[in-house]
Amino acid sequence: LKDLEVAELGDSDVHVKMLAAPINPADINMIQGTYAILSPLPAVGGNEGVGEVLEVGRRVAALKPGDWVIPAGTGLGTWRTQGVFPEETLLKVPRDIPVLCAATLSVNPCTAYRMLTDFETLAPGDSIIQNAANSGVGQAVIQIAKAFGIKTINVVRDRPDLPKLVERLMALGADHVITEEMLRKPEMKDMFKSIPKPRLALNCVGGKSTTEMLRHLQPKGTMVTYGGMAKQPVMVPVSAFIFRDVRLRGFWMTQWRKDHAQVDGAGAGRGPLFWESLAGMMDALCQLIRRGQLTAPACTEVPLQDYEAALEASMKPFTSSKQILLL
């Protein structure tokens, strides 16, 4: 933990007092050097969080002191008490949502929202299946799907406190919570008497888990991979391609932001397409939060001084609680 001077405020800069910032798997991967984006060193960790604007440069029009902001992209370095950032690296969020919801808004709920809307046209009554259902994204998928009227089949690893986890996910709106082992059992057929087979599978694990999920996907269904917790390749039986024509896709929120950030001729700022699609999504998510249909994931709040304990806890297996640094 280092004490640094706060940078001077430029005309287009914003001085932000950080309030809370989570520790996500991608943050750890960036520090390990295994992520697709690496910050130039020396760097501050953390890609997500919420802060309050203290002061703005004289050219800043969209933000004012007292506003809440979250990162517009990756690599901002949110694990700090204060920072000076260019205006275009920040997004304003409403102050009438809980601070932990705002702190965890820009990565997991956005990922969940995009995966539910961009790959298959799902209607109320349709179903989806996902593994790592107790992850931050998994919890957001359950709640957003519930709000859309979509049924969820949620796969988790067996663990000592399984009944407690099942209860928690059901309380969020999960329709079915099953273990990886149950996924392989013939009894799965009984489940599909009451709900349709899923048209969309969301994969954050890889390896065997993926192969098992694929077996239950509808013909021409889509499996979207957005993580690889098992560190094993995605294995697909040839028959799934030939006889059921399943589609395999990938999703990375950072890439989505890049694809939607059309830069104008001068190379400054982000184009209208980015703000429209991003603002629309943020608005939809904040509405769900206000209506109580989307809550922050299970969190453990940790003061910044105890960052070592928080990092250690976030890397333990079977974590069902996100570590949030309070700044």
DSSP states of 110-169: HHHHHHHHHSS---TT-EEEESSTTSHHHHHHHHHHHHHT-EEEEEE---TTHHHHHHHH
CB 69 within 8 Å of CB 93: yes
Alpha helices in the chain (DSSP H): 25-32, 99-103, 108-118, 136-148, 162-172, 180-183, 188-194, 208-215, 238-242, 253-259, 272-290, 307-314
**pLDDT confidence of residue 259:** 84
CB 162 within 8 Å of CB 180: no
CATH T-level assignment (fold) for domain 13-104+296-326: Quinone Oxidoreductase; Chain A, domain 1 (3.90.180)
Mean pLDDT of the region 5-24: 97
Q: State the Cα–Cα distance between residues 55 and 140, nearest whole angstrom.
A: 33
Compute φ and ψ for 70, nearest 5 degrees: -130, 165
Q: State the Cα–Cα distance between residues 30 and 36, nearest whole angstrom.
A: 8
Q: How confident is the model at residue 223 (pLDDT cuts 50, 70, 90)?
A: very high
Q: Quick one: CA dihedral 65, 291, 251, 154, positive or negative?
A: positive
- For the question of residue 113 being annotated catalytic, the response is no
Q: Which of 35, 113, 226, 307 is catalytic?
A: 35
Domain ranges of the chain: 13-104+296-326, 108-254
| CA neighbor of 16 nearest in space, from 46, 38, 36 | 46
3-class state of residue 179 by DSSP: strand
Mean pLDDT of the region 294-323: 91
- pLDDT tens figures, 118-143: 999 999 999 999 999 999 999 999 99
DSSP code at position 85: E
**pLDDT confidence of residue 37:** 87
Compute φ and ψ for 44, nearest 5 degrees: -100, 135
Mean pLDDT of the region 67-82: 95
**pLDDT confidence of residue 265:** 39
pTM of the complete model = 0.92
- pLDDT tens figures, 232-283: 999 999 999 999 999 999 999 999 988 887 554 334 455 666 667 888 899 9
- pLDDT tens figures, 92-118: 999 999 999 999 999 999 999 999 999
- pLDDT tens figures, 167-197: 999 999 999 999 999 999 998 999 999 999 9
**pLDDT confidence of residue 267:** 41
Q: What is the CATH superfamily name and number for domain 108-254? A: NAD(P)-binding Rossmann-like Domain (3.40.50.720)
